[in-house]
Structure 1
Amino acid sequence: MSLPDTDYDLIHDELGREPTPAEDVLFENLWSEHCAYRSSRPLLSAFDSEGEQVVIGPGDDAAVVAVPLHDGDDETYITFGIESHNHPSYVDPFDGAATGVGGIVRDTLSMGAYPIALADSLYFGDFDREHSRYLFEGVVEGISHYGNCIGVPTVAGSVDFHEGYVGNPLVNVACVGLTTPDRLVTAEAQEAGNKLVLVGNATGRDGLGGASFASEDLAEDAETEDRPAVQVGDPYTEKLLIEANEDLIDEGLILSARDLGAAGLGGASSELVAKGGFGADIDLERVHQREPNMSALEILLAESQERMCYEVAPDDVDRVAEVAEKYDLGCSVIGEVAEGNYVCTFDGEVVVDVPPEFLAEGAPMNDLDAETLEPQERALPDAELAEAFEAVVGSPTTASKRWVYRQYDHEVGVRTSVGPGDDAAIVALREAGTGLALSSGANPNWTSANPYEGARAVALENATNIAAKGATPLTAVNCLNGGNPEKPEVYGGFKGIVDGLADMCRTLSTPVVGGNVSLYNDSVSGPIPPTPTLAMVGTKAGYEAPPATFAGEGTLLLVGEAGGALGGSEYLAKTGGTDRFPGLPANPAAVVEALADVANDESTLATHDVSHGGLAVSLAEMVTADSGAEVELADEIALFDETPGRAVVETTDPDAVYEAFDGVAPVTELGSATSDGELTLTVGGEELGYDAAAIADLRDVIERELE
């Protein structure tokens, strides 16, 4: 048993006896960091998760949020969740990433929702390392294979390359689902005597101990030794499960539901009944299995994919079985909701008999030491302007991600109005006449330089992405990734990103309604940077938005306040040197609101946020073969500063932009858009010039190097 002696003593005292072997592994997995959040839960109360739009907040498989109606009066809900599949994606990048997609989609199903959009935020070691490229290619292939096969569009996300992820990549996956009040289901058992029905794939031995595996540092031989802990997905079965779930929900056959993810059947069934204040009687031999001679421990803990645990009224069991048969899915009545303990039998013997709440919620929290990083001092490099511009614009982190998202089917479902490659995606919720904007990502350079301020910047950047498309933030979920929390400097950085993300989301009046924590992302190469992936949605009337490329005929304005520093910038990452982290605007919520108003003005021709790589990257991304710009800046800090909360606006009515930001934030005239496909920059009197082809060559580094 890998739990500490103090935990073992606590379990022994609660049970009044030695735990059985099956109970041993149940507690090991359900009390692991991955499931119990033992090091992070004491910090998570920092997040505000309530609001008039929040129907169900943290604690279920996914959050449920009411969508503002812009056309019609039928209530529409979205579900929103995010998960990590970090360790599995290092051991087996294809299956690790694929099953990460499958898991977050089933979280959506368990709330009675239909999945309509995915966002993937990915983090790898330096792009010039062969192993980093191997992981990168495998992860993207796994995501595209699974998402494309199940017919759920991947519309947003991010990709970062940073030396801190060499030994431990991150794969964070968010999913948005669509439902209505009458179809809503939760993971809370309703009544003793109802049946527990397992629907989906047969149970095998894959993924054994996945939760405990995700709660420890990656060993040097993890790629071989930990392979059995990685699940193997079958997207075609998942697609059948999606459609079967729709039928079951439509017919009102499901009383509560939980998908089988971390800790397998043991985790899903015990958490479902514990949440309702019940116990369970389960016969493990009734579980449909694909391998012979499976033990009770294997049946309980296997994380075989594409499985759901449903609570069903006794009179509805036969109909559930008929729906499962229609979709060629396995179906087992494995037991029932009961009063008292969580009890599992196998081969005529009781192998588990424990209080369900103690198993699901009884893990003691860790009290860990935290050290705070000192702010960086200013030591700027003496870099040649053209070389710096080309290094930043051509960095794999800031370069075009077209090689990634062209492998994803982002049009399936015919809801995608604005797809990958823009600041935020927009998905049409025609049921409500509402456009749903989606942005997801973090910036490890920022949070390495200053965890607290960097995390605040991550939240503001995602809100700015949404505002640049004319939407206002509605809600957010987070995936908080860190190294080994037992190291004070690591835990201090993790605490910083939690507080920073919570403070900025509170300032933006954006409730954080759910999330995931992934710690022990540590390897022989060291801990990852503290990485607070935030997925945020916003709403707007209609589904259209200004593009992020120049129209070629308007005045260019920079809206928002520069922070006047380069700490955490891609410029310093490429040229060396250090600096303090830039200051953020004093009134970010007003900035976001003003930007959304400007983006929706008919005189606005283009909008694009300024963040990773600063104006250098934003301007380069806006150039096309038919449009360019002439821009003048004071100095290199103005060109490479990455302060979020800013955007480039091309407009035919500059006065309207000045008026919108009056008393909110500065507006600076940059120059004018042109129709010649040329970007001409004058920086501190020094002129740079690049045509669209040269910029495309810089920005296509990923595609060029891989293909």
Structure 2
Amino acid sequence: MLDTVATAAEDPHHDQPWSELGLKPDEYQRIREILGRRPTSSELAMYSVMWSEHCSYKSSKVHLKQFGEIPQETPVGKMLAGIGENAGVLDIGQGYAVTFKVESHNHPSYVEPYQGAATGVGGIVRDILAMGARPVAVMDPLRFGPLDAADTQRVLPGIVAGVGGYGNCLGLPNIGGEAVFDPTYLGNPLVNALCVGVLRHEDLHLAKASGTGNRVVLYGARTGGDGIGGVSVLASETFDEGGPAKRPSVQVGDPFMEKLLIECTLELFAAGVVAGIQDLGGAGLSCATSELASAGDGGMHVELDLVPLRDSTLAPEEILMSESQERMMAVVEPGDLEAFLEICAKWDVEAVDIGEVTDTGRLVIDWHGERVVDVPPRSVAHDGPTYHRPFARPDEQDALQADRAERLPRPATGEELRETLLRLAGSPNLCDKSWITDQYDRYVRGNTVLSQPSDSGMVRVDEQTNLGVSVSTDCNGRFARLDPYAGAQLALAESYRNVATGGARPLAVSDCLNFGSPEDPAVMWQFAEACRGLKDACLELGIPVTGGNVSLYNQTGETAILPTPVVAVLGVVDDVTKRTPTGFRAEGEEVWLLGETREELSGSEWAHVVHGHLGGMPPQVDLAAEQRLAAFFAEGVGLLTSAHDLSDGGLGHALVESVLRDGVGATVSLDGDAFVALFSESAARAVVTVSPEDAERLASLAQSHGVPLTRIGATGGDALVVEGQFEVGLEELRQVWTVTLPAVLG
């Protein structure tokens, strides 16, 4: 029997599966108070998905609100759209704007690696499209358990194939990301996806349903039974030791349908027939209808039985919960409806007028003439629960920080240093990732300027002026475990530095905050500290947070992942033909080290790989030094022949990557403790090269920006030589660096 608003009023004590849908007793009671009756099964479905952790941010929003304290301006100008929209939009000059955002699809990618990762890419692309932008590039920060673990070998190939398969079919270059391995991600891989889009200022579109009488049009793929509950429920639960606590169907992606949807939507924008728009991602129709109505005039009436279905047996509540992919919802003025539908037909995209905007202040949904939903839309979309979860610094944190890696046994001879360099070069986190990146098309569309393994991804925006943008994503979860405040700042600093090394001016931040269960006070302390650290760093650097994503409940049983606040930084490049490349490119150039090296080994790749150790304090954060370094790089374009930031693996691994990039060796001489010089992971550092005749200009530039500068050697030969310590031939080095992933994954 259909559960209608009328039957809900007549049968107030009807048993409902609110607990099975993830609602708490007090949340269910609050819904009854809002409605003045029990909810219908369709209303219960809407509230359950929209009040889930993934959609409502109920445990995190009290901490996220501090990002609003950061001035919403960039070094170029004001943000055109920020937190609260589908994605942040930035003015980059010349009438252009760029939108970018990073989100998670972690739990679905564990359950069904290919489709989970593929639909993660599809979802973030639609977020960018919904802002009025053409998507131009994607990135994929990934985290896995140990490389040799059976479950890693199950999920990694599928996840990589899903990211590549969907992005390649869309014709979007994958210009960067990360692949990091750690035991805490076993059973809970992280699949974060970033997309960048480009638009003219006047093309900006927002998610709101305004204009009484305007039509509500659903267009794109048909609605099916895949993804019912989907990410909204799955990403709000902790996995138990045997697998996911809940296994709703993972969404099934169709990238060819999404490609049609992109081109169709861009033509709809160009025709001026879209008054408001929202993509259908997490929570599907429940999200699109309630958010559009809540952000507009406050009312909407929908005929749910008009929704095109792939499965005619779906009940109303299933249709409202389904997270079937490749769907959009538009608000269209009645006079534009015919033109809208004609454009959709041209692209073979199904479009149906399913309702209208009203001024009632209610979201009303009917099913074959029977009312199944009658709610205040804001109560569904924006006024969900707010939890002030208890958080406390864990008792073991002091002991963890006291267990310094600087006390561990270290190599003492040149041969031991050589062995350490090679061991790190072949380790899963530092080895060549081309087994992954070769599955991605990095150059489709013809505007890719830099991609992996460069420090950042860079794309051209305008073919006449060569205006472009650069993007990087980073996070060292070990640093965040040792000190989540500093760890978040170090993630930001590394992304900021990666963008800067190519010559871009860092503009803004998007983040994907991946943590364990918010019901654990220690995890919530990590989260609160990371948010505070990120906010303070953005204030000091003068760049805003444009938006992002929170992913909680990332743990298996009692084992939480390393706190992983992934930070993406976007920068602007006035002329992409004038950028600084990564890696040594020619013989006979001087090699210089920028920045100050301290004995900072805790949380380092050396401690992790050689000793399996995690303890101590992460490297010192010096944001003023990062700013000076970025200013140096911006002015150094044309002078510097290469630049590579120093991060995981320290100077030693930066030299490995630099000599292998174009097969140009180097000889360096290191003062003081050679081990510390090679493997410390002090921040605010980079290695650069210049022609010998430009050495004085380099010294003058560094002095003018207050950047410490040390000449350490010269390029040339077919080996990496550390004078007085060791040398290793490039052929041997490349073999060690490249063999790791293929040896395990085939």
The within-5 A match list for 1:38-53 is: 38-47=58-67, 48=70, 50-51=72-73, 52-53=77-78
What is the aligned partner in structure 2 of residue 61 from structure 1? 86
For the residues of structure 2 that align with 1:360 and 1:420, how far apart are their CA atoms? 38
529, 532, 544: which one aligns with 2:565: 532
Q: Which residue of the other structure, out of 595, 611, 618, is the alignment partner of 1:581?
A: 618
1:262 aligned partner: 282
- One-letter amino acid of the structure 2 residue matched with residue 583 of structure 1: Q
C-alpha contact (below 8 Å) 1:594/1:660 kept by paired residues: no
* Structure 2: distance between partners of 1:603 and 1:185: 41
Kept in 2, the 8 Å contact 1:627–1:673? The answer is no
Q: Does 1:237 align with 2:257?
A: yes
Deviations 1:336-371 (A, max 9, x none): 111221111113211111101111111121111222
Given the alignment of the two structures, is residue 549 of structure 1 paired with residue 583 of structure 2, yes or no?
yes
Q: Is the 8 A contact 2:625 2:707 kept in 1?
A: no
Distance change (3 Å), C-alpha of 1:679 and 1:699 = same
Match of 2:376 among 335, 355, 359: 355
2 CA distance for matches of 1:420 and 1:233?
26
Once the 2 structures are TM-superposed, how far is the Cα of residue 49 of structure 1 from its aligned partner?
A: 5.7
How far apart are the structure 1 equivalents of 2:138 and 2:598?
A: 33
1:368 aligned onto 2:389: yes
Equivalent AA in structure 1 for residue 385 of structure 2: P
Pairwise mapping of residues 191-230 of structure 1 onto structure 2 (< 5 A)? 191-210=211-230, 211-222=232-243, 226-230=246-250
Q: Distance in 2 between matches of 1:191 and 1:586?
A: 47
Aligned partner (choices 441, 457, 466) of residue 409 of structure 1: 441
Partner residue in 1 for 2:424: 392
Matches of residues 29-178 of structure 1 in structure 2 within 5 Å?
A: 29-47=49-67, 48=70, 50-51=72-73, 52-69=77-94, 75-178=95-198
Letter in 2 for 1:164: T
Report the AA paired with residue 660 of structure 1: L
Q: Which residue of 2 aligns with 1:698?
A: 736
Partner residue of 2:700? 659
| C-alpha displacement of 1:221 | 4.4
The alpha carbon displacement at 1:405 in A equals: 1.3
Equivalent residue number for residue 327 of structure 2:
307
**2:476 is equivalent to residue 456 of structure 1:** no
What RMSD over aligned residues (CA atoms) do the two structures have, in Å? Answer: 1.7
Check if 1:517 corresponds to 2:556: no
Counting matched residue pairs gives 697
Superposed CA deviations along residues 583-638 of structure 1, whole A, max 9, x for unmatched, are 122513532333323540x3311110000111111000011364111122222122
Cα distance in 2 between the residues matched to 1:330 and 1:597: 48
Q: Residue by residue, what CA displacement relative to the aligned partner does 1:443-499 show, whole Å, maximum 9, x if unpaired?
A: 112212221111111101111101110111011211111100110111111112212
Are 1:618 and 2:654 an aligned pair?
yes
**Please, which of 391, 408, 416 is the counterpart of residue 381 of structure 1?**
408
The amino acid that maps onto 1:366 is Y
* Conserved 8 A contact 2:211-2:297: no
Q: What amino acid is aligned across from residue 640 of structure 2 in structure 1?
A: T
What amino acid is aligned across from residue 613 of structure 1 in structure 2? G
Q: Give the Cα–Cα distance (whole angstroms) in 1 for the partners of residues 520 and 706 of structure 2.
A: 40
Q: In the alignment, what sits opposite 2:683?
A: 644
> Aligned partners of 1:485, 1:222: CA distance in 2, in Å?
19
Kindly tell me: are residues 188 and 563 of structure 1, through their superposed partners in 2, closer, same or farther at Cα, counting changes over 3 Å? farther
TM-score w.r.t. length of structure 1: 0.96
- Whether the aligned pair in 2 keeps the contact of 1:475 and 1:512 (CA below 8 Å) is yes
> Is residue 212 of structure 2 the alignment partner of residue 180 of structure 1?
no
In structure 1, C-alpha distance between the alignment counterparts of 2:274 and 2:505, rounded to whole Å: 34
Partner of 2:631: 594
Q: Identical aligned pairs, as a percentage? A: 37
Which is worse superposed, 537-546 or 309-318?
537-546
- CA distance in 2 between counterparts of 1:359 and 1:150 reads 33
Quote how far apart the aligned CAs of 1:82 are. Answer: 1.6
Give me the whole-angstrom Cα distance separating, in 1, the residues matched to 2:682 and 2:462. 35
Q: By how many angstroms is 1:226 displaced? A: 4.7
Partners of 2:689 and 2:597 in 1: how far apart? 18
Do the aligned residues in 2 keep the contact of 1:110 with 1:259 (CA within 8 Å)? yes
Task: Output the CA distance in 1 between the equivalents of 2:652 and 2:371.
Answer: 66
How far is 1:663 from its partner?
6.5
Amino acid at match of 1:503: D
| Alignment check: 8 A CA contact 1:277 1:357 kept | no
Equivalences for residues 266-277 of structure 1 within 5 A: 266-277=286-297
Using the TM superposition, give the Cα deviation of residue 101 of structure 1 relative to its aligned residue in structure 2, in angstroms: 0.5
Is the contact made by 1:469 and 1:599 (CA closer than 8 Å) also made in structure 2? Answer: no
Identify the residue that residue 9 of structure 2 maps to in structure 1.
Answer: none
Identify unmatched segments of 5+ residues in structure 2.
Answer: 1-17, 412-416
Contact 2:188 2:556 in 1 (8 A): yes
* TM superposition shift of 1:680: 0.9
Other structure's SS at 1:237 match: helix
Which residue identity lines up with residue 603 of structure 1 in the other structure? L
Q: C-alpha separation between the residues in 2 aligned to 1:23 and 1:587?
A: 51
